Amino acid sequence: MVARLIDEDPEQAYGYSRVALRLASRVAAVREAAGFAAYATQRYPEALAEFRAARRMTGGVELWPVMADCERGMGRPERALAMAGEAEVQKLDKAGQVEMRLVAAGARRDMGQLEAAIVTLQSPELASNAVQPWTARLRYAYADALLAAERESEAREWFAKAVEADKDGSTDASDRLAELDGVEFVDALVDDDTDADADADIDTGNEADDADIDTSNGADEADIDTSNGADEADDAGTDGAQDAGGSGGSGVRPPADGASAAASDSSPGDDRIGGGNA
């Protein structure tokens, strides 16, 4: 489980490794797996302790390069460089020796010894035209060191060689090469999303415009209906006034005889409606 998850989800792999340690801490493979899980999550002191425990149990030297790299991760490049000169390195297979060379070159760079790092990487394995599992990483490290030393043309050459050897895409050599050549990559998915957003904005704008037009038409129709209603009311009022004028002059009905008599009997100071001189 730890081996399957370590590339996809290092933290989860680390969690599984801690469970395995509680169950089988005396098994060398468990200690080694726990070391690699801690290494993948940059827990270098813990990783180094697990690698040392696994090495004591097996007596092998296969973990020597990664143990040295843990020293680098803990900020002790001089210890990593010292390990590169130990007798254990001679017991490593070819892949292990290349790994040790990569770690030593990294330690040199950590110490600010860039030219020494470049020289450390120069080896028969680097010069070979044969492609081995370590070839892409070795060429990539060499190209990166050359670029750091501002030897751009040489760096481009070695990045191109790293691309040739990197069949499974274990490095970003192709991206680095494109960057040196001034090539810019455009994410097609981002462009599609941008176009979709733009279309959505246009559709929203059109819908808003249609809504405004409908609202305006509704308001105009309401104004017209109101105006027509007001005109009809005016016409009705005019016709009523004309009818009243034809029958009674001013349009006010004359008071009844009783009202006239009451008004005649009232005193001049009465302020009731109809008071005063009739």
Instruction: Give one word for 274, left, alpha or beta, with left for phi > 0 and alpha for psi -120 to 50.
Output: left
Q: How confident is the model at residue 187 (pLDDT cuts 50, 70, 90)?
A: low
Q: What is the average pLDDT value for the chain, to the nearest integer?
A: 79
pLDDT over 70 (residue 22): yes
pLDDT at residue number 183? 84
* pLDDT band per the 50, 70, 90 thresholds, residue 184: confident
Q: Which is nearest to 81 in space by CA: 56, 101, 53? A: 101
Taking CA atoms, 69 is separated from 27, 32, 44, 61, 127, in Å, by 23, 15, 9, 14, 24
pLDDT score, position 264: 35
Confidence of residue 260 (pLDDT cuts 50, 70, 90): very low
1-5, 8-12, 131-135, 228-232: range with highest mean pLDDT: 131-135
Please classify residue 63 by burial: count the beta carbons closer than 10 Å to its beta carbon, then call 0-12 exposed, 13-18 middle and 19+ buried. buried
Q: pLDDT at residue 122 above 60? A: yes
Predicted pLDDT of residue 236: 42
* 276 backbone φψ class: left, alpha, beta (φ>0; ψ -120 to 50): left
pLDDT, one tens digit per residue, over 152-178 is 999 999 999 999 999 999 999 999 999
pLDDT at 4: 77
CA–CA distance, 232 with 108 (Å, rounded to integer)? 100
Between these two residues, 205 and 152, which has the higher pLDDT value?
A: 152
Of residues 147 and 4, more confidently modeled? 147
% of the chain exceeding 90 in pLDDT? 61
Note the pLDDT tens digit of each residue in 207-252: 555 555 555 555 555 454 544 444 444 444 444 444 434 433 333 3
Q: Give the angle subtended at the CA of 124 by the CAs of 121 and 130, to the nearest 5°.
A: 110
pLDDT of residue 21: 94
Instruction: Name the pTM for this structure.
Output: 0.66
d(CA 59, CA 56): 5
Q: Which residue has the higher pLDDT, 183 or 160?
A: 160
Above 70 in pLDDT, residue 18?
A: yes
